[in-house]
């Protein structure tokens, strides 16, 4: 084998996110840099699953991994987690830190996280919707998750229902959380003439995804 020859598995890997503990693996100014093989499809080749990769453009890599994986495990995007990892290093970097960590880069789509695509998008009531009908039968809908066997939970909160001037979560409680729902809609008689909010989550393949953002509404009667 000549000095310029090398071995490479050209079959696309199955993972979606990569943290590459390998010097210069993410040197994107170099043709055929390895991180690119993980996250980009090659012309005429197989389609891979890779979406984003973290790695170094020189000697070095990531350490203190908990400052990166902790935010990702809590639902942060890979870009947000990368920023939190840098912030955890502190504002001042000594020579050793500069030599090792400088050159770290994020390649691919920084707006993705583990749960991208499995957090339902709320539809109705639209946020800040105002209602004046009684009884206060409220129709909630959200987008379906396009996977088999998905179930949903909806949480509905009423301002001041558990404690005056507070949401239920502010006092460590919940007002209403449904059981498993197989449809992407739910009807509920709201509690009173006050502000309300709701959110929804999905359970996919036995795993419960994070809640959607709160959507707010109000009844005047």
The CATH number of the domain holding residue 175 is 2.60.40.10
Q: Over pLDDT 90: what percentage of the chain?
A: 66
Domain end call among 78, 108, 138: 108
Strand 195-204 relative to strand 207-208: parallel, antiparallel, unpaired? antiparallel
- For residue 7, pLDDT over 90 is answered with no
Domain end call among 108, 143, 175: 108
Q: Tell whether 41 and 128 lie within a shared domain.
A: no
Mean of pLDDT over the chain: 89
Residues 193, 220 contacting (CB under 8 angstroms): yes
Look at residue 10 and tell me if it is in a domain. no
Distance between CA 17 and CA 85 in Å, rounded? Answer: 16
Q: Which tokens sit at 170?
A: 């502010």
Residue 2: band (very low, low, confident or very high) from pLDDT cuts 50, 70, 90:
very low
Q: Tell whether 131 and 95 lie within a shared domain.
A: no
Q: Tell whether 128 and 215 lie within a shared domain.
A: yes
Residue 173: band (very low, low, confident or very high) from pLDDT cuts 50, 70, 90:
very high
Look at residue 63 and tell me if it is in a domain. yes
Domain end call among 83, 108, 133: 108
Residues 24, 58 contacting (CB under 8 angstroms): yes
What total of structural domains would you count in the chain? Answer: 2
- For residue 64, pLDDT over 70 is answered with yes
Q: Tell whether 149 and 88 lie within a shared domain.
A: no
Task: Return the higher-pLDDT residue of 42 and 136.
Answer: 136
Q: Three-state secondary structure along the chain?
A: CCCCCCCCCCCCCCCCEEECCCCCCCCCCCCCCHHHHHHCCCCCCCCCCCCEEEEECCCCCCCCCHHHHHHHHCCCCHHHHHHHHHHHCCCCCCHHHHHHHCCEEEEECCCCCCCCCCCCCEEECCCCEEECCCCCEEEEEECCCCCCCCEEEEEEEECCCCECCECHHHHCCCCEECCCECCCEEEEECCCCCEEEEEEEEEECCEECCCCCCEEEEECC
Distance between CA 95 and CA 35 in Å, rounded? Answer: 26
Q: Tell whether 68 and 136 lie within a shared domain.
A: no
Q: Tell whether 33 and 98 lie within a shared domain.
A: yes
- For residue 122, pLDDT over 90 is answered with yes
Residues 130, 220 contacting (CB under 8 angstroms): yes
Q: Tell whether 130 and 165 lie within a shared domain.
A: yes
Structure confidence at residue 205 (pLDDT): 83
Distance between CA 117 and CA 82 in Å, rounded? Answer: 20
Look at residue 39 and tell me if it is in a domain. yes
* Token pair 């020859």 in the structure block, residue: 5
Residue 133: band (very low, low, confident or very high) from pLDDT cuts 50, 70, 90:
very high
Mean pLDDT for the stretch of residues 23-39: 88
Look at residue 6 and tell me if it is in a domain. no
Residue 12: band (very low, low, confident or very high) from pLDDT cuts 50, 70, 90:
low
Span 99-110, pLDDT tens digits: 999 999 999 989
Look at residue 177 and tell me if it is in a domain. yes
Q: Tell whether 128 and 82 lie within a shared domain.
A: no
Q: Tell whether 46 and 93 lie within a shared domain.
A: yes
Domain span including residue 63:
17-108
Look at residue 34 and tell me if it is in a domain. yes
Structure confidence at residue 128 (pLDDT): 95
Look at residue 40 and tell me if it is in a domain. yes
Look at residue 104 and tell me if it is in a domain. yes
- For residue 1, pLDDT over 50 is answered with no
């Amino acid at each position: 084998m000549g000095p310029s020859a090398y071995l490479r598995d050209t079959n696309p890997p199955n993972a979606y996110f990569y943290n590459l503990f390998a010097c210069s693996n993410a040197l994107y100014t170099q043709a055929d840099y390895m991180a690119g093989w993980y996250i980009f499809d090659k012309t005429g080749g197989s389609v891979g699953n890779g979406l984003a990769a973290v790695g170094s453009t020189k000697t070095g890599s990531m350490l203190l991994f908990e400052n990166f994986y902790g935010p990702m495990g809590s639902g942060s995007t890979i870009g947000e987690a990368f920023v939190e990892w840098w912030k955890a290093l502190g504002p001042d970097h000594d020579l050793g830190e500069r030599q090792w960590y400088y050159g770290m880069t994020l390649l691919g789509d920084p707006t993705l996280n583990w749960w991208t695509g499995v957090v339902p998008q709320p539809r109705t009531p639209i946020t800040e919707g105002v209602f004046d009908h009684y009884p206060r039968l409220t129709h909630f809908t959200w987008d379906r998750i396009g996977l088999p066997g998905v179930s949903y939970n909806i949480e509905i909160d009423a301002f001041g229902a558990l404690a005056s001037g507070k949401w239920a979560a502010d006092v460590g409680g919940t007002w209403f959380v449904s059981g498993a729902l197989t449809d992407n809609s739910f009807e509920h008689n709201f509690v009173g003439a006050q502000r309300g909010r709701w959110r929804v989550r999905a359970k996919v393949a036995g795993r419960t995804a994070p809640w959607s953002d709160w959507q707010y509404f109000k009844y005047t009667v």
